[in-house]
Amino acid sequence: MIQIDLSGQVAVVTGGSSGIGFATARLFLQAGASVAICGRDGERLRSAQASLADEYPHAQLLAVRCDVLDAEQTNAFASQVMQRFCRVDMLVNNAGQGRVSTFADTTDDAWRDELELKYFSIIRPTRAFLPMLNDAPSPAIVCVNSLLALQPEPHMVATSSARAGVLSLVKSLATELAPQRIRVNSILIGIVESGQWKRRYQNYLNENADNPAPQSWAQWTGEIARKKNIPLGRFGLPEEAAQALFYLATPLSSYTTGSHIDVSGGFARHV
């Protein structure tokens, strides 16, 4: 395995209190970077901070409650990072979840909410941290996107549309920021284990409370993967998505910008 030393560098991870964001923060800390994470849920953020601090007791870690859709909160988060670390080298934009809806049942407000979430969860942190990234020796921005950007699903029409826009946004940012040496890339995830999927599994257990032998998590997710014809036959792990983010955020990918990595277990149908 390729090792890289990120001592002296600073990584910012939005949505870093759980799932892919949390796993990404762990990788940065493991490599010696100082890390700032944010999240909307204060209790979950405190739990994540305690867990990371316990695993890496000597690491430099900042956890700030912040809704990245709120410009004032995002700017305040950036100010705290600057005050604590005086620099930012890597920004991971990781926020948002999928909305299950068809065109027929997606309201105007739902469309606005979905588009705002997908776009501004990238736009606002990028604006806030851009001045610090400009001063970094090898700056990088990485965004968590979805395979829906290239392979839309009719039952997720609003999310699919917004994800396609994010793909274009990443490419545009990469082109515009290249003269400033800032690389911008993304990952396209398929089905990755998440709190959203855990809640769906809990609903399944509640609906099958009288079943003496309900499916285990592995059986339940495996069946979904088979029904969806995912070649690897399982859900992805947050750590697997995090490894792709880590690669794109660090000098390991120093000649890569405006690109994306497919993390979907072979679910992509395009060449």
CATH architecture of 10-191+239-262: 3-Layer(aba) Sandwich (3.40)
Angstrom distance (rounded) from CA 108 to CA 23: 34
Angstrom distance (rounded) from CA 256 to CA 264: 20
pLDDT band at residue 2 under the 50/70/90 scheme: low
Domain spans of the chain? 10-191+239-262, 193-235
Angstrom distance (rounded) from CA 23 to CA 28: 9
- Lowest mean pLDDT across 16-20, 94-98, 154-158: 94-98
- Mean pLDDT over each residue of the chain, to the nearest integer: 96
Q: pLDDT tens digits for 23-70? A: 999 999 999 999 999 999 999 999 999 999 999 999 999 999 999 999
- Predicted confidence at residue 213, as pLDDT, reads 87
- Lowest mean pLDDT across 206-215, 222-231, 238-247: 206-215
Which pTM does this prediction carry? 0.95
Percent of the chain with pLDDT strictly greater than 90: 93
Strands across the sheet containing 260-263: 61-65, 34-39, 10-13, 90-93, 140-146, 183-189, 260-263
